[in-house]
Amino acid sequence: MRYIRLIPALLLGAMLAACNTTKKLYEAQEYDEVIQRVAPDICGGDMNAKRINYVAASYHKANQADHERIQALKATGQPDVWPEIYQRYCSMKGRNDALACFPREVKRGMNYVKLDLDDDMAAARNKAESFLVAKANQLLGTGSKTDAKEARKYIEQLYATNPQNTHLQELQGKCLLRSADNVLVTYDNKDRRDLPREFVATLMDFDAGELPQHCVTERDKRTDYEAVVVVVIKSVEVSPSRLDEVTFKESNGSALVEVTDHSQTKHATVKGTIRFASDINARPVREVPFEVTSTFKNDYTTIRGDREACSAETLGRLNSQPVPIPTDESMLLDAAKKLNDLVATELKK
């Protein structure tokens, strides 16, 4: 029986400790911490009056402080205030949502009103994103590593504001490259096809000055690379050669001729992604999908019959001739050159 009697005492002690903690947080003006700790208990049925009062007072004081700060920031008319305005709207909405599950009589007693902040939040987020993108681009455009590192703070803010922002990956990739001292550019073949040795050589053969100075294509074991750009080849397709023909007749008076237009075609397509990461095994901060195609096409015309029956257009095509169709390897080398140009362009953005 002695142990049974201890249970109410232990519960009372726990409740007093909880109230004491809540009071300390409230007195320290940690209003959001009060709400985060106590609101779930109230939603679960804990109707301790002191704790409810602390939550109510924290809710109104925090919202009032955010409202006043938002108005003061807007009054400045400066574009750099919008990230903070958006975050304060988010805080107000978060508090409002945390208290939404309170019993009706508790809400009435604390003057709780459901806030409609969606339009204000959307407008603030759009302006915050516009500022953060512009500021990051400005810093990344100077060519300074110091500025690139400074840009990272704005990019992190952009991610916190909207992880789906359409500019985010490109900015993250730029920041990674421009803040690094050493960047390795390499490739990874994920396709089953064994690529010709010349393909890899062509892909990695950048002209002098085509790559930023701190980018290299040959790994040095003595160097710690702060960023890696990997050209990941996912699929390689080379089509069979085709010869399509269309035959028709032309006439000029009593003269007749049968005209055949021939079309020789073949193509090679390489698909994959360009991955920007801090390490070859790290999760990429940016992935750029690519598809490069080398296309061979040759048209020529032949006739059977009286040349005098040919139209001027047909006569103009008679000088064309069939030509040897390129090999698979030559088609792939042409695709490698195009991919090389694409990679160089991405690295310079």
Q: 265-298 pLDDT, tens per residue?
A: 999 999 999 999 999 889 999 999 999 999 999 9
- pLDDT surpassing 50 at residue 207: yes
pLDDT at 21: 84
pLDDT at 35: 95
Task: List residues bridging with 271 in a β-sheet.
Answer: 235, 291
**Helix boundaries (H) for 44-144:** 49-76, 82-98, 104-109, 118-140
Global model pTM greater than 0.85: no
pLDDT at 299: 96
- pLDDT surpassing 90 at residue 34: yes
At residue 211 the predicted structure's pLDDT band, cuts being 50, 70 and 90, is confident
Cβ proximity of 199 and 188 under 8 Å? no
38-47 pLDDT tens trace: 999 999 998 8
Which of 151, 193, 225, 183 lies closest to 328, judged by CA?
A: 193
Map residue 208 onto helix, strand or coil: coil
Q: Taking the CB of residue 186, how many other CB atoms lie within 10 A of it?
A: 18
pLDDT at 13: 45
Q: Taking the CB of residue 62, how many other CB atoms lie within 10 A of it?
A: 20
Residues in CB range of 18: below 8 A, 6 or more apart: 48, 51
Report the mean per-residue pLDDT for the chain: 92
Determine what percent of the chain is predicted with pLDDT higher than 90. Answer: 86
